Every structure is written in structure tokens, then in C-alpha cells.
Structure 1
Amino acid sequence: MFSNKLLVVVLALVPALTMAQTVPYKVIFDITSSDSAAQKAVIRQMRGISQSRPDAQLEVAIYGDALGMAMKDKSIIADAVQELTSNKKASFKVCAATMKRNNIDKSQLLPGVDVVPDAIYEIVTKQHEGWGYIKVAQ
């Protein structure tokens, strides 16, 4: 009798465990800092996630003082950004409002970096879609 109940419990848990393993892994990073340590940290975090979860969807919302990390002539992480975007491991989205305030044109951005109308709106939208949220700070 006990073994029958145990079998029923195990069979009831199998679908739940299977579904838990197929839940998409989606994270949006929020960065506003010009600090090189913060910019390197977001790359390190994304690489770590990409290695442990190759199926992960990762995005960086860049605005405020972090704008330079996405620019051709200022980025200290340009190679890493291009590596992650070319491998389709991550996307980098720059705030158009920040670009406008700083008189920056899309042509000044690294290849593979996209522009969104508003980074905060992008973050909130992703959160509503079930993405995890990480504020990058040093």
C-alpha cells in the first residue's frame, strides 16, 4: 500500500520537474556606470551565465554614464561586446534618449549594439515578460 502511494507521488512530480527544467533563462542587466570595473563585471557575469546556461537569453540596457561602453571610440570592452553579440549569446541595447542628450549618433556605436527608445521602459517591459533583473554596480 505504501509503495503504491509513493509511486503516485513520484509520478505526480515528474511533470513538474520536467517543466522546471525547460523554463527559459532570461536576464536583463541594467548599467548606468562609466566605471570600468562595473563594465567588466557585466561582461564577466554574462560569460559565466552563457557557459553554465548556453540557452540563456541575456540583454544589457545601457544608459546614463555607461554610454561609452557601447561606443566605438570609447569602449574598453568592445571585443567582449562583439564576441557576445556575434555568438547570439547576448544583446546590448542603448537608450536613444541618452544618446540624444549626449549628441551621439548610431554610427558611433559598436557593431551589434541596438538602440531602444528608452532603457528604463526596456527594463520594465522585460520584467513584465518574466525576465530576471540585475542592477550592475561597483
Structure 2
Amino acid sequence: MKKYLILILVCLLSLGSFAQEKPVKIVFDVTSNDAKVHQSAVRHVKSMAEAYPNSQFELVVYSSGLDMLLNDKSSVASDIRNMAEKDNISVVVCQQSLKKHDLTEAALIPGVKTVPDGILEIANKQQQGWSYIKEN
């Protein structure tokens, strides 16, 4: 009987370890000007951030993806504003892309931050152990 109780206790303890969430860090890469890609990226980041509140997520936008973060062109502006307010989500845009398209930070949705280079930002995150997701 004692052996069965120990076996049950071991099984219960092992189940508890599966329930513990291990935080993740994921960087999402958006370069498309397709509104469907923007909506998909927002959906992915939001659902992951809600499911894993102790994890970190960063949405990096550059090149043709800029419309996603522009006040006057974004089809997901309210979602971007809400995401940028979350502690576990960062929304960043490449300064080089802004410069190439003759845009300034004033054109961005409030809460969006800039990084010197979008590709380098992703590479640095990967060196720090972040997982990478390409949205397309």
C-alpha cells in the first residue's frame, strides 16, 4: 500500500511540473504591405501575449511593412496602440525604413518605438535567445 501511495504522489508531483509555464521570448518580423498579413501578425502577437503573460514579444516592422504602423494608413491602428501599452509587447519600426520613405516618427501610431535597423534588431534578439517568426 505504501508503494502505491508513493507512486500516486510521484505522479501528482510530475503533473504539477507540466503545468508550470516557462517564459518565452519571440520576435515577429513584418515586411509585407498586405493588410491581411498585418491582421494575422496582430492576432498572433495578441493571442501569444494573452496566453503567456510572463513572456516577452516584439513586433519588428521594416521595409514595405511600414503602412502597418502609420497613423493615416494602418488597418490595425487601434490594435497596435493597445499592444504598445502592454508590458510584455514591444512594437518597433526601423529608422532606416522611415528615412528611406521620407517619414518621421510623428507619422507613427502612438506607442510605436524606433530602432536603428530592423534586421539588426532581429539578429540581436536571436543572439539573446529569442525565437523568430516571419509573418507573411
Q: TM-score range by the shorter chain?
A: 0.7 to 0.9
Offset of residue 90 of structure 1: 1.1
- Residue 113 of structure 1 aligns with which residue? 112
Structure 2 CA distance for aligned equivalents of residues 135 and 95 of structure 1: 16
Aligned length in residues: 126
> AA paired with 1:86?
E
- Residue 32 of structure 2 aligns with which residue? 33
1:79 aligned onto 2:78:
yes
Offset of residue 22 of structure 1: 6.0
1:24 aligned onto 2:59:
no
- Residue 65 of structure 1 aligns with which residue? 64
Structure 2 CA distance for aligned equivalents of residues 36 and 125 of structure 1: 27
Normalising to structure 2: TM-score of the pair? 0.84
Q: Could you list the runs of 5+ residues in structure 1 that have no partner in the other structure? A: none
Structure 2 CA distance for aligned equivalents of residues 38 and 78 of structure 1: 14
The 3-state SS of whatever aligns with 1:73 is: coil
CA RMSD of aligned residues (A): 2.1
**Once the two structures are aligned, what percentage of the paired residues are identical?**
34
Q: Could you list the runs of 5+ residues in structure 2 that have no partner in the other structure? A: none
Post-superposition, which runs of at least 4 consecutive aligned residues in structure 1 deviate over 2 A? 21-24
Normalising to structure 1: TM-score of the pair? 0.82
Deviation per residue, 1:72-91 (Å, 9 max, x gap): 11111110011111122311
